Amino acid sequence: MLRITQEAARCLLCGNAKCTAACPNGYDPSRAVRAVRFENENIAGRFVDADTCAGCQGDCEKACIHYDSPIRLREMISALPAQTKTDEEPDLSIDFCGVHCENPFFLSSSIVAGDYDMCARAFEAGWAGAVFKTIGFLIPEEVSPRFGTIGKEGTPFIGFKNLEQISDHETTYNLDVLRRLKKNYPDKVIVASIMGQNDEEWIKLSKLVTEAGADMIECNFSCPHMSGGGLGSDVGQDPVLVKRYTKLVKSVTHLPVLAKMTPNIGNMEIPATAATQGGADGIAAINTIKCILGIDTETLVSSPSVNGRCSVSGYSGKAVKPIALRFIHDLAKCGHLSGVPLSGMGGIETWHDALEFILLGCSNVQVTTAVMQYGYRIIDDLILGLKTYMAQHGITKVSELVGTALPQLVPADMLDRSTLVYPSFDIKKCIGCERCFISCSDAGHQAITMQDGKARLSAAKCVGCHLCMLVCPSGAISSKNKRIAKP
Ligand SMILES: Cc1cc2nc3c(=O)[nH]c(=O)nc-3n(C[C@H](O)[C@H](O)[C@H](O)COP(=O)(O)O)c2cc1C
């Protein structure tokens, strides 16, 4: 049977998709596939009509420009879950540091929020706010190329490395953009990200962006690859400087101030607490993680090669989400930061990713890398998915969800160590590939044997680690057995 998520993963997600243009019935197959791709499989069916499509000649499929073979759209459409209509319309709006946001989704400070037209298009698409590209008096000279990616087995963009610094526009130009954005989009939230080099610059920048009409200020204490010392994450690793600069910024603005944290540190609670002592109203995390993507073993240069050299610089995207979530958890649980609003980011692509940040305590989330890869249009599925989840769970306001997963995260010494769950094997689904057998033999407790070409479990040896389930490609192994006392 066709696995719709795997087939959707092959889709090239073209702009102006030919499949949709070719549909004689005016449906939107490309939008349906995009919904599947962004974890909205259950509602993908609303963009097509399975009955009508079943009787169609498949013009969408014939128009597909996939370089390999067309996406099997007709089969996908027929396999989409039936649609259940709900009249409930959950409220996605949220109060963040006293500022009303129509939904929790902001562009994070970067190239994706780098100019007027870009932010305007993002707002039109549905983003509630934009943290504008960091403004400073230093105008950096950028390198070319400046990005690199790491992929695995057909997924080209698991992690993303960038060497980009702060805005390379003049401060006066950026201030004019902020002014125009606020004038033309009064209901959207304009956050000015700033970075100074000394006391005077932090004060001046804070005054200027306040006068320009920003709704909030985000202090960039966290860019890990600024050329020149005393900037970005050099500041963010020093709680004394964090407190000092936050205090200076707060002393000349009435706006809420966020302090954006660097993950290039062991305990983020320390600079975050220092920021709140300096008067920060909220904490944003995480900025990018210092990285080296890898080394080209022929040229001996790391990617991206800037004329034969590269530098340690910031890593973002899906790969960093677990690290970002861990920092958000640490901030949310820190007693000194109790009640301090959190804005979370790092690897958010789908509504599900965003919800995870919310469940760990964020009332606002930000995105860059996924927008770089897929464009502003991902907001459609962020909004749709979160709304659907809320309707299904009887949640009327996003604030009801904030932090609700925190009690279940406990120190390792508080975990139950007296019981286990044996993996459950569905022999009908076992295809005899031996992946579970190999992993259990070489990295487990030799609890799996192959009999008549099928995997069998020996409970006497099994410790319930579930590695077998994680490597099984056919879904034959699950954790649906009951938890029992350890033998
Ligand atoms: C190309 C690029 C440029 C960035 N520029 C800035 C910046 O100017 N200021 C800032 O605070 N963070 C900057 N960031 C960090 C992002 O705002 C964000 O914190 C980080 O990428 C993690 O989120 P993501 O995984 O959604 O990208 C940049 C990130 C990227 C990839």
How far, in Å, are 12, 63, 258, 284 from residue 69 at the CA level? 11, 11, 48, 43
- Taking CA atoms only, the protein residue closest to ligand 1 atom 15 is 287
Q: Looking at 55-185, list the stretches that DSSP marks H as alpha helix, in order from N- to C-terminal side.
A: 59-63, 73-79, 116-125, 171-184
Instruction: Tell which residue, 352, 348, 344, 345, has the closest CA to residue 373.
Output: 348
DSSP for 42-85, please give it. Answer: GGGGGGS-HHHHHTS--HHHHH---SSS---HHHHHHHSPPP--
Six token digits for residue 234: 């050099």
Q: For the segment 122-134, what is each residue's pLDDT rounded down to a tens digit?
A: 999 999 999 999 9
User: Which residues make up the CATH 3.30.70.20 domain(s) of the chain?
Assistant: 416-485
What gap in Å lies between CA 42 and CA 82, rounded to an integer?
A: 8
Check pocket membership of 368 for ligand 1, CB cut-off 6 A: yes
| CA–centroid distance, residue 365 to ligand 1 (Å) | 13
Six token digits for residue 401: 């969800």
What gap in Å lies between CA 473 and CA 462, rounded to an integer?
A: 20
Check pocket membership of 164 for ligand 1, CB cut-off 6 A: yes
The count of other CB atoms within 10 Å of the CB of residue 149 is: 18
How far, in Å, are 331, 351, 393, 439 from residue 39 at the CA level? 28, 7, 17, 29
Is 119 catalytic? The answer is no
Check pocket membership of 347 for ligand 1, CB cut-off 6 A: yes
- Ligand 1 atom, smallest distance to 317 CA: 25
- Taking CA atoms only, the protein residue closest to ligand 1 atom 29 is 110
- Ligand 1 atom, smallest distance to 108 CA: 17
- Reduced DSSP (H G I as helix, E B as strand, rest coil) percent helix, strand, coil of the chain, to 5: 40, 20, 45
- Ligand 1 atom, smallest distance to 371 CA: 26
What gap in Å lies between CA 131 and CA 227, rounded to an integer?
A: 22
What gap in Å lies between CA 125 and CA 43, rounded to an integer?
A: 19
Domain 4-79 classification at class level = mainly alpha
The active-site residue out of 23, 223, 310, 462 is 223
| CA–centroid distance, residue 381 to ligand 1 (Å) | 21
Reply yes or no on domain 416-485 having CATH 3.30.70.20: yes
- Ligand 1 atom, smallest distance to 287 CA: 19
Six token digits for residue 441: 């033999």
Residue 166 pLDDT: 94
Q: Mutation test of ligand 1: which of 108, 111, 138 has the most ligand atoms closer than 8 Å to its C-beta?
A: 108
- Taking CA atoms only, the protein residue closest to ligand 1 atom 6 is 110
- Taking CA atoms only, the protein residue closest to ligand 1 atom 23 is 346
Contacts 24+ apart (CB under 8 A), 82-88: 82/45, 83/43, 83/45, 83/46, 86/388, 86/391, 86/392, 88/391, 88/396
For tokens 């192994």, name the residue: 477
Check pocket membership of 134 for ligand 1, CB cut-off 6 A: yes
β partners of residue 362? 342
Apex 379 CA angle, 161 and 373, nearest 5: 25
Instruction: Tell which residue, 149, 121, 220, 137, has the closest CA to residue 174.
Output: 137
What gap in Å lies between CA 64 and CA 12, rounded to an integer?
A: 10
CB 78 within 8 A of CB 29: no
Beta strands 313-316; 155-162: pairing state: antiparallel
User: Which residues make up the CATH 1.10.1060.10 domain(s) of the chain?
Assistant: 4-79
Q: Mutation test of ligand 1: which of 163, 316, 318, 325 has the most ligand atoms closer than 8 Å to its C-beta?
A: 316
User: Which residues make up the CATH 3.20.20.70 domain(s) of the chain?
Assistant: 94-408
What gap in Å lies between CA 330 and CA 271, rounded to an integer?
A: 12
Six token digits for residue 140: 């950096």
Residue 312 pLDDT: 95
The architecture (CATH level 2) of 94-408 comes to: Alpha-Beta Barrel (3.20)
What gap in Å lies between CA 19 and CA 28, rounded to an integer?
A: 8
What gap in Å lies between CA 222 and CA 233, rounded to an integer?
A: 4
pTM of the predicted structure, to 2 decimals = 0.97
What gap in Å lies between CA 335 and CA 356, rounded to an integer?
A: 21
Residue 55, classified by CB atoms within 10 Å of its CB into exposed (0-12), middle (13-18) or buried (19+), is exposed
Check pocket membership of 387 for ligand 1, CB cut-off 6 A: no
Low-confidence ranges of the chain (pLDDT < 70): 1-2, 85-87
- Ligand 1 atom, smallest distance to 321 CA: 25
Check pocket membership of 226 for ligand 1, CB cut-off 6 A: no
Q: Looking at 252-368, list the stretches that DSSP marks H as alpha helix, in order from N- to C-terminal side.
A: 269-277, 321-333, 351-359
The count of other CB atoms within 10 Å of the CB of residue 461 is: 13
**Sequence-distant (≥ 6) Cβ neighbours of residue 427 within 8 angstroms:** 454, 476
**Three-class SS of residue 158?**
strand
Residue 86 pLDDT: 66
Six token digits for residue 38: 């962004």
Check pocket membership of 109 for ligand 1, CB cut-off 6 A: yes
| CA–centroid distance, residue 411 to ligand 1 (Å) | 30
| CA–centroid distance, residue 14 to ligand 1 (Å) | 25
Integer Rg of the chain from CA: 25
Note the residue count of the chain: 487
- Ligand 1 atom, smallest distance to 348 CA: 26
